[in-house]
Amino acid sequence: MFEVATEVANRVGGIYSVLKSKAPVTVAEYKERYALIGPLNRKSAAVEVEELPVPNPELKATLDAMY
């Protein structure tokens, strides 16, 4: 499951707080089938972003094309 929002790694507004508080519960339920997607905010990336390898080649190709 993908959840897409501009607030994913941006500490502005209430949506960020909602995403951060529900992420552990959602990960516990969906495990590796859950991903949050949002624009890269370099100011908060070191603290908020955990870059992981993408094991699915089709998904990796799609994400690489978006970069």
Q: What is the pLDDT of residue 7?
A: 87
Distance (Å, whole) CA 8 – CA 20:
8
The predicted pLDDT at position 34 comes to 93
- Tell me the HSE value of 25 on the side-chain side, using a 13 A CA sphere: 5
Model confidence band, residue 10 (pLDDT cutoffs 50, 70, 90): confident
pLDDT in tens, 11-67: 777 888 899 899 999 999 999 899 988 888 888 777 878 888 998 999 999 989 987
Token pair 């552990």: residue:
24
Distances (CA, A) of 65 to 13, 15, 21: 29, 27, 30
Query: Residue 53 sits in which domain range?
Result: 2-66
Number of domains in the chain: 1
Which pLDDT score, from 0 to 100, does residue 31 have?
92
Express the helix, strand and coil content of the chain in percent, nearest 5 each. Answer: 55, 10, 35
Assigned token pair, 36: 């949050």
